[in-house]
Structure formats: C-alpha cells, structure tokens
C-alpha cells in the first residue's frame, strides 16, 4: 500500500515536471518520457514505449496527454492514468491562467503589439514548415490515394467550408477500406 | 449555459484532433472563432503564439485561455476537462486492448488514412494565419496592395531559417517578436 502511494506521488511529479518543460507541444515529450520511465525508473520496456508512442500519436487528443495516460495506466491502472493526466494538464493550466489575467493589459501595450505582429508572422512560418515537412512525408510514400485525399480535403476545407469532423470520418473510412483491400490483396498474392 | 457549451466544444476538439499539436488548431479555430463568438481571429492568433511560447499541449493552452475569457477560472477548468475527457476514455480503452492483443493493424490503417486530411486542415488554418499576418484582416482582400511588408519579410526569413537549420520554433518566434519591435520602433 505504501509503495503504491509512493508510486502515485512519483507518477504525478514526474509527469508534472515533464509537462512543465515541454515547449512547442506534442512530440517533444516522448523522448523526455522515455528517458524518465524507461531509462531512469525502468517502469516501461523499450519496445513497449514505441508501441505506446504509436497509440498516443494515433489517438485523438494531445500527444503529451495521451502518452501520460498510457504510462499512468500501465504503472497503476485507471487511478494511475488520472494522476498522470492531472500532472500533465496542471502546468499549462496554471501558466496560461496567469498570462491571460495580464493579457488585456499586455495587448494594449504598444511594444507588445509590435512583438505580437512579428510573432504572428513567426507562427505562420512555423506552421508552414510543419505542413511542408508532413506533406513531403505523404508525397514520399509514392501512392496516389493519400495525395488525392490530401488535395481533396484541402479543397473541401478551404473553398467549400465542409465540416472538419465530417472530413475526418470520411477519410478514416477510406483508410479502413484501403487497409482492408490491401490486406486481402496481400493474402491473395501469397 | 455557457459552461456546458464550453465543455461540449472542447470535448469535440479533444475527440477529433488526431495527430496532436497543430492538428487541433483548425478545430479550435472553428469552435471558438467561427461557431462561437468567444475569440476574434486576432485573439486566436495571439493564443497560438502564446501556446507556442509556453509549455504544454496547444489544445490545453487554448482551452485554458478560452475558458478564462469566457467564464473565468471555472471556465478554464471546464474547458480543460472537456479537452482531455475523450483522450482519457479512448486511450484507456486502447491501452486495455493493447495489453490484451498488442498490435492493431486496422486501427493503424484508419489513422494512416486520416493523416493526409489532417495535413490539409493544418495547411488551410496556416493560410488563414498568413492572410491575417500579411493583411491584418481575416479575409483575403480583393486589392492585394494593402499588404504589410514587414510581416511578409519576417515570415520569409523565419521560414528559410526553419527549413534550412531546423532551429527550435521557440527561438524563431522570440526572434520574430524582437526584430518586429526593433523595426517598428525604428520607423
């Protein structure tokens, strides 16, 4: 019982610290978690961490939150997962709360305004960079279907204002059908 | 009931943002700018910049920010809980399935199908931000001569730096902010 209590504490503070240090969101937390839980605490095996990463990446929601749920669940079941979610969510919650209370005062400040104008151009560039990298990955697969899905989805969102959720559902169905057909083709070729 | 609306909006954001990080951006924009009058496009762009500069997932950062703007601290808590609720249910279910079966080809197939669509959505949201940055308004004006040269230059320089040297985005953003202060102060 005591050991379990200690684990909850350790789980909470480990994820709290990791989340507080994860700038730029998302994937950055994975190598940090690997270092902590695989190398330092030996709670998770190397291969298992890769699988958990794949699950975290492919499930809805923030990767950092998903990864911490998986780690917490693995170490201490559902209560463990709740503890790690709390640990992951609290640092951004606290920091953004503080910032947003000063936000209006900040926003009306001339210097902050100048900085924000530049930073907006910066964010646009960062997103552009992300899109170029990700779209490059799709093009390198050298398959027609993903490229077609990408172009049609873009047109649907940008020019026809189609509901994003509808597009996600349709593309998920296309992915499922594609996997099923390819698996059957693979089985038939054998 | 504003808290229920917040909760429901962020449950949808949490449920349909797949692939983490920027994938949540277009969904957040739709919920808090287009569907609800919670943030202006400028505020939305600000929160993207703030989210990039502060630790934590973008979705959680914007949930907190929007929640506080709309309903104070309780609003922030409600929005954040809504944001992680779908993850909790789905990921715990998947974790259970994983430890029982290990290996989910079909699930991975569905998600592979989603990836190109997610990229397209991020691209579209990115274009919205570029228009806002270059022209200071949401819609692309018919007369393109109103373009602001300084953001355009900063954007191009930042993009080249990011592509060429893979610099940490936080430094690029901080640099963009600093240069902008210097340039606007000088003129």
Q: Which residue has the higher pLDDT, B136 or A81?
A: A81
- The answer to whether residues B135 and B160 belong to one domain is no
pLDDT for res A82: 93
User: Which residues of chain B lie closer than 8 angstroms to A59, CB-CB?
Assistant: 18, 87, 90-91, 94
Is the same domain home to B103 and B183? Answer: no
Which of the residues B116, B122, B180 would you substitute to probe the A interface, choosing the one with the greatest number of A C-beta atoms within 10 Å?
B116
The reply to whether B6 and B97 lie within a common domain is yes
Q: Are residues B100 and B128 in the same domain?
A: yes
- A93 plus A156 within the same structural domain: no
Which of A69, A100, A123 lies at the smallest CB-CB distance from B68? A100
Per-residue pLDDT at A190: 46
Q: Are A77 and A138 within one domain?
A: no
Joined tokens for residue A88: 């992951």
Cα A59–chain centre separation: 9
Structural domain of residue A155, as residue ranges? Answer: 144-190
A161: DSSP letter = -
**Distance (Å, whole) CA B3 – CA B11:** 12
Which of chain A's residues have a Cβ under 8 Å away from the Cβ of B59?
A: 61-62
| Res B186 pLDDT > 80 | yes
| Burial zone of A32 (CB within 10 Å; 0-12 exposed, 13-18 middle, 19+ buried) | middle
Nearest to A168 by CA among B117, B23, B28: B117
A127 and A47 fall within a common domain:
no
CA distance B6 to A93: 16
Query: What is the tally of structural domains in chain B?
Result: 2
Tell me whether 0.90 is exceeded by the ipTM.
no
pLDDT tens figures, A16-42: 988 887 665 556 677 778 778 887 888
CB neighbour burial string for A12-22, b if at least 16 within 10 angstroms, e if fewer: bebbbebbbeb
| Interaxial angle between packed helices B169-186 and B149-165, expressed in degrees from 0 to 180 and rounded to the nearest 10 | 150
DSSP run (H or E) holding A110: helix A110-140
CA–centroid distance for B174 within its chain: 18
Burial of B76 (0-12, 13-18, 19+ CB in 10 A): buried
A164 and A93 in a common domain: no
- Domain housing B173: 148-187
Distance CA B52, CA B62 (A): 11
Q: Give residue A1's pLDDT band: very low, low, confident or very high (50, 70, 90).
A: very low
Is residue A128 a contact partner of residue A136, using CB atoms and an 8 Å limit? no
Residues A14 and A46 in one domain: yes
Burial code (b: 16+ CB inside 10 Å, e: under 16) for B47-67 equals bbbbbbbbbbbbbbbbbbbbb
Q: How far is A156 from chain B (nearest CA, A)?
A: 9
Mean pLDDT for the stretch of residues B19-44:
84
pLDDT tens-digit series, residues A129-172: 888 988 898 899 889 999 999 999 999 988 988 877 788 889 98
What is the DSSP-derived secondary structure letter of residue B103?
-
Q: Are residues A165 and A98 in the same domain?
A: no
Q: Coil, strand, or helix at residue B131?
A: helix
- Measure the CA–CA gap between A87 and A75, rounded to whole angstroms: 15
Q: Domain total for chain A?
A: 3
Torsion angles phi and psi, residue A60, rounded to 5: -65, 155
- Averaged pLDDT score across all residues of chain B: 85
pLDDT of residue A44: 86
Residue A42 to chain B, least CA–CA distance (Å): 18
Cβ contact, residue pair A119, B58, below 8 Å: no
Residues A136 and A121 in one domain: yes
Among the residue ranges A57-61, A83-87, B154-158, the one predicted with the least confidence is: A57-61
Q: Which whole number is the average pLDDT over B41-55?
A: 81
- Which pLDDT score, from 0 to 100, does residue B181 have? 92
Residue A132's nearest CA partner among A116, A157, A150 is A150
Q: State the nearest Cα–Cα gap between B18 and chain A, in angstroms.
A: 4
Mean pLDDT of all residues in B129-154: 85
- What is the Cα–Cα distance from B104 to B86, expressed in whole angstroms? 20
> What is the share, in percent, of chain A residues with pLDDT greater than 90?
23
Do B42 and B120 belong together in one domain? Answer: yes
Find chain A residues with C-beta within 8 A of B111's C-beta: 58, 172, 175
Range A182-190 average pLDDT: 71
Inter-CA distances, A155 with B32, B114, B187, Å: 22, 16, 40
Q: Same domain for A21 and A79? A: yes
pLDDT per position as a tens digit, B76-132? 999 999 999 999 999 998 888 877 766 567 777 777 787 788 788 878 878 888 988
Q: Which residues of B touch A167 (CB under 8 A)?
A: 117, 121
Q: At A189, is the pLDDT very low, low, confident or very high (cuts 50, 70, 90)? A: low
| Residues in chain A, total | 190
B6 and B90 co-located in one domain: yes
């Amino acid at each position: 019982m005591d050991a379990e209590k200690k684990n909850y504490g350790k789980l909470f503070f480990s994820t709290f610290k990791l989340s507080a240090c994860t700038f730029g969101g998302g994937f950055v937390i994975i190598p940090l978690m690997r270092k902590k839980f695989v190398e330092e605490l030996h709670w998770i095996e190397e291969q298992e961490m890769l699988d958990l990463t794949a699950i975290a990446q492919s499930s809805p929601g923030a990767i950092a939150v998903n990864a911490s749920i998986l780690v917490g669940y693995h170490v201490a079941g559902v209560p463990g997962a709740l503890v790690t979610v709390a640990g992951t969510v609290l640092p951004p919650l606290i920091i953004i709360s503080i910032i947003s209370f000063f936000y209006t005062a900040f926003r009306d400040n001339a210097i902050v305004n100048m900085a924000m104008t530049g930073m907006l151009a910066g964010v646009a560039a960062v997103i552009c960079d992300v899109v170029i990298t990700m779209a490059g990955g799709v093009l390198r697969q050298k398959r027609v279907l993903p490229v077609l899905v990408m172009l049609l989805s873009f047109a649907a969102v940008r020019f026809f204002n189609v509901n994003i959720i509808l597009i996600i559902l349709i593309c998920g169905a296309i992915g499922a059908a594609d996997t099923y057909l390819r698996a059957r083709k693979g089985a038939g070729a054998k | 009931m504003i808290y229920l609306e917040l909760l429901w909006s962020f449950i949808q954001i949490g449920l349909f943002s797949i692939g983490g990080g920027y994938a949540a951006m277009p969904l957040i924009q739709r919920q808090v700018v287009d569907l609800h009058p919670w943030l202006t496009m400028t505020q939305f762009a600000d929160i993207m910049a703030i989210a990039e500069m502060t630790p934590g997932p973008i979705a959680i950062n914007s949930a907190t920010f929007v929640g506080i703007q709309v309903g104070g601290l309780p609003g922030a808590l409600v929005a954040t809980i809504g944001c992680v609720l779908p993850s909790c249910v789905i990921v715990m279910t998947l974790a259970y399935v994983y430890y029982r079966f290990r290996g989910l080809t079909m699930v991975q197939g569905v998600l592979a199908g989603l990836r190109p669509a997610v990229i397209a959505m991020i691209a579209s949201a990115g274009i919205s931000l570029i228009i806002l940055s270059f022209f200071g308004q949401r819609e692309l004006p018919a007369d393109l001569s109103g373009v602001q040269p300084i953001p355009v230059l900063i954007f191009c320089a930042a993009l080249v730096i990011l592509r060429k040297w893979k610099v940490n985005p936080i430094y690029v953003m901080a640099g963009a902010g600093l240069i902008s202060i210097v340039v606007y102060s000088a003129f």
